[in-house]
Structure 1
Amino acid sequence: MTEQQNTENAAPDTALTALLGRHSIGPRWMVAPGPNDAQLTQAVQAALRAPNHGRMKPWRVVTVSEAQRPALADLFEQFARDSGKSAEDVAIERERAYNGPVLVAWVARIDSGVAKVPPHEQWICVGGALSNFMSALHFMGFGAKILSGRKCQHPALVQAFCQAGEQLVGFVCIGSPTRELEPREPDDPRPLLSAWSVR
């Protein structure tokens, strides 16, 4: 193998090593800085490389600025109160609007009327794009975690972030990690990999 071939192979090996080490990190373990506009754009560019039958792009990303956090906190509070949560839990829900130095909403648009690209394929694209987005941020040195739950179905939040026919998938918190990955058992891919047995 030539020196040039060694150099060409180094980047994919490095990327694979980084991917195998990717993990989500909670907002309490994040500090500023988060990604800037150019880095977010690059992460979205990586998301566009996910499998995408028909090039439908059934997802989009909505940024939430620092100045908009109080408005988001009001929406989270409305969800908590409508859910019958205690005053303490309402306060906790408000605080979640301030998670992560950078916060984006992940929005999906699934069109059930496209015969060649059924809904499950569109959801595959949404998930694949999200995975690429978060992996790209990890490669840049940031930590990220998507937080979802029942509040993403609350009418006030859906109205705030979604257009007609869209669904709010969740909020991605992004920042600089303050701790390393906690030790865990190595992932074993073997139970998930099998040969087709013709019946």
Structure 2
Amino acid sequence: MTDIAPLAPRPDVQDFLATRRSRPAKTLVAPAPDRAALEPLLASALRVPDHGKLEPWHLIVLEDAALDRLAGLTGRLGAAQGRDPDKVQKSQAMFADAPLIVAVVASPVLSDKIPEVEQTLSAGAVCLSLVNAAQAAGWGANWLTGWMASDRDFLTEGLGLAPAEWVAGWIVIGTETATPPERPRPDLAAKAAWIRE
């Protein structure tokens, strides 16, 4: 029988998680991590719970002209669909102003054992893990969605996604220009129940 050492406490990690805070995307500017700096963050982000080892997600790194193209597509489709012009403009700015975006694509796998909801939760875990990995490396990061994350025309034309795929999160990563103020946090006593029998 092999002796297994217990996990050592990591107070630095606990402190990070207890104080983590998303950075507003509009405050993130260039430079963004280059490929050499980004790849370890992406690898860390994929270390998430994945029941059945289905890997029901993939990543698309969007930079430079790709962001400009998606901003234009957002404006064109938003107008054609009769969306509120102010909201369309805000959606365009997400792409146009971002130094870098990683699209976390939910890509469900047909399975008799693993329901799609579990696969969706795994994709969401990738989103949060990437935000945390980026911030732990000293970058600002924010997890966004918006109508483009599930609009079939946008997903097909903009990203070439398969019909069952959609974007679980647009993870904006860049250099932080302002530290956001702390905001009210959930009341643990109101949100946690303890059941012993």
TM-score bracket for this pair, using the shorter chain length: 0.7 to 0.9
Match of 1:130 in 2: 127
**TM-score between both structures, scaled by the size of structure 1:** 0.83
The amino acid that maps onto 2:113 is K
Q: Which stretch of the first structure deviates more once superposed, 149-158 or 46-55?
A: 149-158
Counterpart-to-counterpart distance in 1, 2:46 and 2:131: 12
Aligned residues: 188
Counterpart-to-counterpart distance in 1, 2:26 and 2:146: 18
Counterpart-to-counterpart distance in 2, 1:85 and 1:186: 33
User: Given the alignment of the two structures, is residue 33 of structure 1 paired with residue 31 of structure 2, yes or no?
Assistant: yes
Identity of counterpart residues, as a percentage? 24
User: Given the alignment of the two structures, is residue 155 of structure 1 paired with residue 155 of structure 2, yes or no?
Assistant: no
User: Given the alignment of the two structures, is residue 99 of structure 1 paired with residue 97 of structure 2, yes or no?
Assistant: yes
Match of 2:174 in 1: 175
Match of 1:76 in 2: 74
Q: Deviations over 1:130-160 (max 9, x none)?
A: 1111100010111111221222222332103
Match of 1:46 in 2: 44
Q: Cα distance, 1:165 vs. partner?
A: 2.5
Match of 1:184 in 2: 183
Q: Judging changes above 3 Å, is the alpha-carbon distance between structure 1 residues 127 and 87 closer, same or farther for their aligned structure 2 residues?
A: closer
Counterpart-to-counterpart distance in 2, 1:92 and 1:123: 26
Counterpart-to-counterpart distance in 2, 1:91 and 1:48: 32
Q: Cα distance, 1:94 vs. partner?
A: 3.1
Q: Which runs of 4+ in 1 moved over 6 A?
A: none
Unaligned runs of 5+ in 1: 1-7
Q: Cα distance, 1:66 vs. partner?
A: 0.5
The amino acid that maps onto 2:190 is P
Instruction: Tell me if the contact between 2:127 and 2:168 (Cα under 8 Å) persists in the aligned partners.
Output: no
Where 1:163 maps in the other structure, the secondary structure is: coil
Q: Judging changes above 3 Å, is the alpha-carbon distance between structure 1 residues 61 and 31 closer, same or farther for their aligned structure 2 residues?
A: same
Q: Judging changes above 3 Å, is the alpha-carbon distance between structure 1 residues 188 and 89 closer, same or farther for their aligned structure 2 residues?
A: closer
Q: Cα distance, 1:126 vs. partner?
A: 1.0
Q: Cα distance, 1:164 vs. partner?
A: 4.1
**TM-score between both structures, scaled by the size of structure 2:** 0.83
